[in-house]
Amino acid sequence: MFTGIIQAVGQIHSRTEKGGGDARVTIAGGGLSLTDVALGDSIACNGVCLTVVEHTAEHFSVDVSQETFNCTVGFTPGEAINLEKALRVSDHLGGHIVSGHVDGVGTVVHFAPVAGDAADASWRLDIRAPGSLGRYMAVKGSVAVNGVSLTVNKVHGNDFSINLIPHTLENTMLRHLKAGSKVNLEADMLARYAERLLAYTQETDKD
């Protein structure tokens, strides 16, 4: 489990193909402390929960399957990547509960300062979710975008809007987005559980 509070912005260092579409991806930690990371630990990489299979003081490697590549974005060498180590029981839950299981890939349709100078203004980020995810987006609800816990401000169909404050822009790779960029999306798991409970109730009422 994760919180969606990004701890560092790293960079994809290399990608070594292993056959069958799988690959070993090595990531520069970008200041993420790896001193307490052990082999087998989980790190969210752009919102994708991955297992550490090698690490040094500054880099760590993960094995990524073809299925994960098919369902996510953000693993091209040279790209910036949001990083967060797994949540510990004693940690503060500053964002929302994020599983690290990406639900789909959205498309940025608008990204620009709301007002004032771009250096200190908040920015509006509009994203088009895949049709299967639009129903989970709710005003004042939570969503993880490339692993970042964010609050939805507006919803129109499958499009939703988010406001990014300067701190978020400075401390995540979201500042690199532009119209047309693809992003990993994870819906709030509470919304998915609520949907399943309603569906189950309707199914059992028919019995």
Q: Residue 155 pairs with which residues in a beta bridge?
A: 160
pLDDT at 116: 62
The DSSP string of 98-110 is: B-S---EEEEEEE
Please state the rounded mean pLDDT for residues 180-201.
Answer: 89
- Tell me how far apart the alpha carbons of residues 60 and 35 are, in angstroms, rounded to a whole number: 11
Write out pLDDT tens, residues 19-45.
999 999 999 999 999 999 999 999 999
| Spans of all domains in the chain | 8-85, 104-189
Please state the rounded mean pLDDT for residues 143-164.
Answer: 97
Write out pLDDT tens, residues 127-150.
999 988 999 999 999 999 999 999
- Tell me how far apart the alpha carbons of residues 98 and 32 are, in angstroms, rounded to a whole number: 19
pLDDT at 207: 60
Q: Any idea which architecture 104-189 has in CATH?
A: Beta Barrel (2.40)
Token pair of 147 as six digits: 């692993």
pLDDT at 13: 98
pLDDT greater than 90 at residue 115: no
Q: Does 104-189 match 8-85 at the fold level?
A: yes
Whole-angstrom CA distances from 64 to 61, 70, 98, 102, 103 are 10, 10, 19, 14, 16
pLDDT at 102: 96
pLDDT at 120: 78
Write out pLDDT tens, residues 53-106.
999 999 999 999 999 999 999 999 999 999 999 998 778 888 899 999 999 999
Q: Any idea which architecture 8-85 has in CATH?
A: Beta Barrel (2.40)
pLDDT at 62: 98
